[in-house]
Amino acid sequence: MTTNTRNNISNNTPLWMCLHFTKLPLEVFLRSNTSEENAGDHAVVIDKKQPVVITEKQRVFHMNDMAKEVGIQIGNSMDTTYTFSNNVLCFERDDDRETSTLAHLAQWAYQFTPKVSIRSPDCLLLDIGGCLKLFKGLNNLIVSIEQGLHKLGYQALIATNTTPLSALIIARAHATNLIHTDHDKLENSIGQLSVQNLQAEEKIIIALKQMGITNLHTLLGLPAEGISRRLGTYFNDYLLRLKGEKADPQKIINPNARFLSSINFLFDITNLNSLIFPIKRLLGELSDFLKGRQLTINHFTWHLSHRKSPYSDSLHKKHFKKTFSISLASPINETRVFLALTQLKLDQINDVKEVDSITLIANRFYPLSADSKSLFRDSYTPSRDFNEHNSEHNDQLLNILNAKLGSGQYFGLSQSDDHRPEKAWKKVNLSKKHHWSPEKQDSLLRPSFLLTTPKALAMSGDMPHLAGQLTLLKGPERIDYGWWDETENKPLTRDYYIASQKDGTLYWIFKYITMDQWYLHGIFS
């Protein structure tokens, strides 16, 4: 199909894309493979000439190209494999890691279309009929997906057709022509495929071959009634959905974002500084993910693990030896900040001897809020820029405190909704920023220094003394509040005054009306 044909598809045309990750069992272990020229100082460089195999039940299940070149075949035992090369690197297949990786790739694909469906163990289905205009045609969309996957370290066989099942079997069959967009030619697009490529029970495939039906062209030409009678209603229903003659709703992934990405190393990392490059790579993936989904985060978690952990039940079972989280003062998407805070945390770790896997997880997401800029230069407001800069500076300080001290090891102060001076402030968690301020600021004077417990003053007649008689300058200000949480016999009504000494020092004093006693409560600066 030509590029022009790909790009001239009506938005009303149903079109599905299948991403078939043919090397997924291998890529969940080897996608961190980097070249010398772009690896950086601390990269883990893997020899591409080393044979690598994935085993399942002690048999070779998957392998890289070098393993094929030395003669290793699918199904070989490990004893046979080592006869071809004693330099073979072996991994036991990790089904859980493949499943989580496919789920992560589905979340990544959500930036292209909201309709993404997972077809385990190695395929994604994307409904792309409604997003072609956004990407200016199918060809541009395919290029964007291929480039994005390459950046992540994955490869996928991409196929398209007008029904999800037809796109799926074309991709899994590795058909010569993978791109089809004309629904009228759907049967021709899959006609040359073998019946072996159908998602059907083995007994049905055997029955078709016994009837001399070897390809889909012959099968789809048979009457539906006969197929239903001979091979069952369910199989006939499958063929109707394959051809698009019956609705085939797909189970779409949950739109709630979740990020989980891992890098495995073929060799143990004993110096944590060597993790900087893979950390940069995972943070880059996270940043691209957030950008594609128009999100920000204020929390993410790192797992450092080793397959040979003494806590593991088996050699290849992963055990998280070290977990640490990064908390941010406010939601952002800044790789530079993420990296700096991660490095601060890494510097504090001294109990991890070796690492062969690193995982980054993020679950708390917030919508990206775009800054509104002024249309006219003349409306520039320096005060707004100052406030934004001040807020950013405060966030940087809180981020560093979080990384060095840990969350909850520090607090801020805020006004509290209480008229009593000793309870008019409170501690606040700065990350939650639940400060309180009155709707209307009053003009009442308050001292800079407040005594924890009011001090009783000597009296001369009815006047308070503190190294001499005090002169009342302003007052009274009556506070009569808090009967519900004070002791039963404690007086409530206080009359506050501003008073001065002969040397000019200003004090904040009050008198309990029922006790006729003066107290010192604060000192003005």
Q: How is the chain split into domains, by residue range?
A: 3-50+88-243, 259-367, 449-523
Q: Which CATH number fits domain 259-367: 3.30.1490.100, 3.40.1170.60, 3.30.530.20, 3.10.20.30?
A: 3.30.1490.100
172 or 443: whose pLDDT is higher?
Answer: 172
CATH (residue range 3-50+88-243): 3.30.70.270
Please give the pLDDT value at position 393.
66
Please give the pLDDT value at position 78.
92
User: Which stretches within 164-323 are classed as H helix?
Assistant: 164-172, 186-190, 202-210, 216-220, 224-231, 233-243, 276-293
Q: Quick check: 124 pLDDT over 90? A: yes
Pairing of strands 425-428, 355-362: unpaired
Is-contact 304 361, C-beta < 8 A? no
| pLDDT tens-digit series, residues 89-103 | 898 999 999 999 999
Is-contact 481 418, C-beta < 8 A? yes
pLDDT band at 337 (very low <50, low <70, confident <90, very high): very high
Please give the pLDDT value at position 424.
75
| pLDDT tens-digit series, residues 290-317 | 999 999 999 999 999 886 544 344 444 4
pLDDT band at 8 (very low <50, low <70, confident <90, very high): low
How confident is the model over 105-132, as a mean pLDDT?
94
Task: Report the alpha-carbon distance of residue 186 to residue 372 in Å, rounded.
Answer: 48
How confident is the model over 50-77, as a mean pLDDT?
93
Please give the pLDDT value at position 437.
59
Q: Quick check: 36 pLDDT over 60? A: no
In a 13 Å sphere around the CA of 3, the CA atoms on its Cβ side amount to: 6
- Does 3-50+88-243 match 259-367 in CATH topology? no
211 or 43: whose pLDDT is higher?
Answer: 211
Cβ contacts of 174 within 8 Å, gap of 6 or more: 22, 157
Which range among 12-26, 66-80, 147-161, 488-502 shows the weakest confidence by mean pLDDT? 488-502
Which has the closest alpha carbon to 13: 185, 128, 170, 117? 128
pLDDT band at 523 (very low <50, low <70, confident <90, very high): very high
Residue 16 exposed, middle or buried by CB count within 10 Å (0-12, 13-18, 19+): buried
Strand, coil or helix: 500:
strand
Q: What six digits make up the tokens of 217?
A: 């062209």
Q: What six digits make up the tokens of 141?
A: 């969309």
207 or 317: whose pLDDT is higher?
Answer: 207
Q: Quick check: 18 pLDDT over 90? A: yes
Please give the pLDDT value at position 500.
94
How confident is the model over 422-440, as a mean pLDDT?
66
| pLDDT tens-digit series, residues 362-420 | 999 999 876 655 555 554 445 445 445 556 666 777 777 777 777 667 777 777 777 77
Q: Could you give the percent of the chain with pLDDT greater than 90?
A: 51
Please give the pLDDT value at position 431.
62
Please give the pLDDT value at position 107.
94
